[in-house]
């Protein structure tokens, strides 16, 4: 004996169609429900609205948004009350389209029908305003979240920290980190990575390394990007002793240095005219199958020429050509001048 399709089965099928991007089939199933006398519930409408927002809005943005809101109106006309999940779905869809001010108006609408915004509502809006570049508004929404008796979560802070980081507002990142710490919220790996980057840019290496050290306490493992940010900061300060120690410690943590880190280290050694260490790293890179960039070759050639070692510079020049890296006119001029100077001395 077969089972009769019910609202749950149809909603599950509609959800599956939406997730596969087949909105038209989902809509047909929705209409079929009505024909069978089945009454769509909050979840059915919400699933379909969500599907409309996720289905290629860029191709027909305005049309899809209109269809989503038409469905929302139909929901209310049928006497099906929209809950916080439905409103969050609409707000999320509008934020993805950068129509954040319209999304915010939905919060006012929620309150009029006695639906209380939750943390997801505010996190979604905060993310939308951060992405749109309205950081002051995002910060104001954080205050609203707290004034409504809700507590900001790790997700909330990560959204804001990432938004401030993308805008280059490193002081804002540091302020958020302090507030987060004051609330006793343990950072995630993403949080730590962004904070380390922020403190390095603020030239506060001590604080950056405090965050780095705390990662182990929180059970977090630094990745190659974290090491790269710290090594870059140390190199920019000319602290090659500490950058070298950190670089070598990567092997102990089973983190393989990237070509970016090697190039950073090479540049750092060249800044202090240490062609020996720079060349050693270059050879190490080549042995690992990594390709130094033009800047690394240029820096080393410059130091070698300064030391009168034009023969070694020419060897590197040949290697650049072999790797199809185009040497600049300044590199060729440096080698030529070093060679001529040496010949004049002879």
In a domain, 75, yes or no: yes
Query: Angle, nearest 10°, between helix axes 135-147 and 154-166?
Result: 160
Backbone angles phi, psi at 258, to 5 degrees: -90, 170
In a domain, 52, yes or no: yes
* Separation CA 306–CA 124 (nearest Å): 56
Q: Mean pLDDT, 10 residues at a time, over the chain (346 residues)? A: 69 80 81 78 83 62 74 85 92 90 94 93 97 95 95 95 90 91 90 91 92 90 95 95 96 93 95 92 92 90 86 88 86 81 55
Range of the domain at 69: 1-82
- For residue 216, the model assigns a pLDDT of 86
- For residue 343, the model assigns a pLDDT of 54
What total of structural domains would you count in the chain? 1
Token digits for 301?
């050639």
- For residue 62, the model assigns a pLDDT of 62
What is the reported pTM? 0.73
In a domain, 148, yes or no: no
Provide the H-helix boundaries in the chain. 7-19, 23-35, 42-54, 61-77, 84-96, 100-112, 119-131, 135-147, 154-166, 170-182, 189-201, 205-217, 224-236, 240-252, 259-271, 275-287, 294-306, 310-322, 329-345
* Separation CA 49–CA 45 (nearest Å): 6
SS3 254: coil
In a domain, 56, yes or no: yes
- For residue 221, the model assigns a pLDDT of 92
* Separation CA 165–CA 198 (nearest Å): 7
In a domain, 324, yes or no: no
Token digits for 149?
């008796």
- For residue 345, the model assigns a pLDDT of 54
In a domain, 62, yes or no: yes
- For residue 89, the model assigns a pLDDT of 92
- For residue 39, the model assigns a pLDDT of 77
In a domain, 320, yes or no: no
């Amino acid at each position: 004996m077969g089972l009769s399709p019910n609202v749950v089965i149809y909603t599950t099928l509609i959800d599956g169609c939406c997730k596969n991007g087949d909105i038209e089939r989902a809509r047909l199933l929705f209409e079929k429900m009505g024909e069978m006398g089945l009454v769509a519930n909050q979840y059915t409408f919400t699933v379909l609205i969500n599907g409309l927002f996720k289905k290629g809005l860029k191709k027909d943005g305005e049309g899809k948004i209109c269809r989503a809101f038409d469905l929302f109106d139909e929901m209310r006309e049928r006497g099906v009350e929209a809950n916080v999940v439905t409103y969050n779905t609409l707000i999320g869809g509008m934020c993805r389209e950068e129509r954040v001010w319209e999304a915010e108006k939905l919060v006012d609408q929620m309150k009029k029908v006695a639906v209380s915004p939750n943390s997801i509502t505010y996190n979604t809006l905060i993310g939308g305003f951060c992405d749109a570049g309205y950081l002051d508004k995002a910060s104001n929404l954080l205050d609203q979240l707290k004034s409504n008796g809700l507590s900001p979560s790790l997700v909330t802070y990560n959204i804001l920290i990432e938004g401030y980081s993308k805008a280059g507002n490193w002081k804002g990142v540091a302020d958020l980190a302090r507030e987060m710490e004051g609330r006793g919220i343990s950072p995630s790996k993403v949080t730590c990575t962004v904070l380390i980057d922020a403190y390095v840019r603020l030239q506060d290496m001590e604080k950056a390394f405090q965050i780095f050290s705390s990662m182990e306490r929180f059970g977090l493992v630094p990745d190659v990007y974290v090491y790269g940010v710290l090594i870059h900061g140390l190199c920019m300060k000319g602290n090659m002793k500490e950058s070298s120690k950190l670089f070598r410690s990567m092997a102990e943590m089973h983190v393989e240095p990237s070509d970016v880190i090697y190039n950073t280290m090479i540049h750092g050694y060249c800044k202090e005219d240490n062609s020996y260490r720079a060349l050693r790293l270059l050879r190490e890179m080549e042995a690992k199958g990594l390709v130094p960039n033009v800047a690394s070759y240029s820096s080393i050639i410059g130091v070698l020429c300064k030391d009168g070692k034009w023969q070694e510079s020419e060897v590197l020049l040949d290697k650049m050509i072999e790797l199809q890296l185009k040497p600049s006119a300044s590199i060729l001029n440096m080698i030529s001048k070093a060679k001529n100077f040496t010949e004049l001395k002879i």
